[in-house]
Amino acid sequence: MDHIEKTKERKMEHIEICLRENVQFSKSAGFDDVEFIHRAIPEINLDDVKLEISLFGKRLKAPIIIAAMTGGTRKGGEINAFLATLAEEFGVGIGVGSQRAAIEDASLRDTFSVVREKAPTTLKIANIGAPQLVKSYTIKELETIVSMIDADILAVHLNPLQEAIQPEGETSFHGVLERLRQATEMLDVPVMVKETGCGVAAEEAILLEKAGVKAIDVGGAGGTSWSAVEHFRRGGKDQLGKTFWDWGIPTTVATVEVAAATNLKIIATGGVRSGVHVAKAIALGANAAGIAYPFLEHAYKGDYHKGRSLMGNLIKELKVTMFLTGSKEVSDLKRTRLIITGRTAEWLKLRGIDVTLFARGERPSLKISR
């Protein structure tokens, strides 16, 4: 089997394992440690709650992004068409999976460009891995990746853990910052960096901001675990995948750290499972929340009714949460009072963040001196 065939097979295996096995983190993304203080007197009407935001030059009807999953195979193309139709209908953002396969084999481009056709107006996020950026990609290839889906922003995904534990992994991460800096200078669209389940801490976020990156998808721990996926790829016998199953910075913690340490736009992905979680992610510092796994099964089966109902519920739950916290606009969530307890509070305190500020409706800033 040649290299491209192997990449395609691996991508399908990932999806099938995600649907067949339990590949979720056993530790939590931290949303249960975060509670809004209920406002018995919201002083707004539910009907006045507005979910619209502007992000990367696009208007979204809700601060939600269907996170990067697939492309590069026929089935991946069908899934992308499904997800893009859903994103366009609801006016939310959509990311595609790594576009590496379509650079290596131009015949696969339509499995990504279908997103441009089905979601012509909404926010679209292109995707490539950091190892590819470091190893070989020219600016021309990056431009091809962006134009393939008419993307508003390019996400470079960081997945050092997954690369380290998969047998065919590409583990060259030396020089990522410099390559990112070059990409930010030469591309017409902004560049975002996206972790894929292990989170981003304040120190790395500061380096990325200095490199010219405009946004971070914190891709935190607590949702889909790539270590778990790799464990099952080797028949559930692989020790390395098992050992690192729960490795990473929980999504809530990473969101607070990046928001406290930088001025970057933030997407909180990893274990977001309800509209209440979306609201909490934004209240902690995100601009929008990303959701991948919950949409996968419906997209795989082509059950559009279930996809719509999932998205509809997320939006309703977000709206009710905003009402109960007196938040007329999405940005008002950032002034809500939040109680942060448990492991999330403990982690944040050890990092020098005063969680009592959240309880009073204020937000912390974090200075890192290194």
Give the nearest distance from C-beta 18 to ligand FMN in angstroms: 5
Give the nearest distance from C-beta 45 to ligand FMN in angstroms: 32
Could you say which residues in the range 60-99 bind ligand FMN, by CB under 6 A? Answer: 67-70, 97-98
Tokens of 335: 């002034």
Does the footprint of ligand FMN cover residue 292 (CB under 6 A)? yes
Give the nearest distance from C-beta 326 to ligand FMN in angstroms: 28
Given the complex with ligand FMN, which of 70 and 132 has the nearer CB atom?
A: 70
Does the footprint of ligand FMN cover residue 219 (CB under 6 A)? yes
Q: Which residue has the tokens 């909180």?
A: 268
**Interacting stretch for ligand FMN, rule CB under 6 A, among 167-175, 208-216, 232-240, 270-278?**
270-278
Provide the b/e sequence for 281-316 (b: ≥16 CB within 10 Å).
bbbbbbbbbbbbbbbbebbbeeeeeebeebbeebbe
Given the complex with ligand FMN, which of 69 and 176 has the nearer CB atom?
A: 69
Binding pattern for the stretch 1-40 against ligand FMN, x by CB under 6 A and - elsewhere? -------------xx--x----------------------
Q: Which of 7, 127, 252, 321 binds ligand FMN (CB under 6 A)?
A: 127
Q: Are 6 and 283 in contact (CB under 8 A)?
A: no
Give the nearest distance from C-beta 15 to ligand FMN in angstroms: 5
Q: Which of 34, 130, 201, 291 binds ligand FMN (CB under 6 A)?
A: 291
Does the footprint of ligand FMN cover residue 196 (CB under 6 A)? yes
Binding pattern for the stretch 138-157 against ligand FMN, x by CB under 6 A and - elsewhere? -------------------x
**Interacting stretch for ligand FMN, rule CB under 6 A, among 131-139, 259-267, 268-276, 308-316?**
268-276
Question: What backbone torsions phi and psi does residue 65 show, to the nearest 5 degrees?
Answer: -130, 130
Given the complex with ligand FMN, which of 114 and 355 has the nearer CB atom?
A: 114
Does the footprint of ligand FMN cover residue 271 (CB under 6 A)? yes
Instruction: Give the whole-angstrom CA distance, residue 91 versus residue 102.
Output: 26
Alpha carbon separation from 354 to 158, 341, 358 (Å, rounded): 29, 12, 8
First to last CA, the chain: 48
Give the nearest distance from C-beta 246 to ligand FMN in angstroms: 13
Give the nearest distance from C-beta 348 to ligand FMN in angstroms: 21
Does the footprint of ligand FMN cover residue 307 (CB under 6 A)? no
Give the nearest distance from C-beta 153 to ligand FMN in angstroms: 13
Does the footprint of ligand FMN cover residue 223 (CB under 6 A)? yes
Given the complex with ligand FMN, which of 136 and 369 has the nearer CB atom?
A: 136
Given the complex with ligand FMN, which of 258 and 366 has the nearer CB atom?
A: 258
Does the footprint of ligand FMN cover residue 275 (CB under 6 A)? no
Q: Which residues bind ligand FMN (CB under 6 A)?
A: 14-15, 18, 67-70, 97-98, 127, 157, 194, 196-197, 219, 223-224, 269-272, 291-293, 296
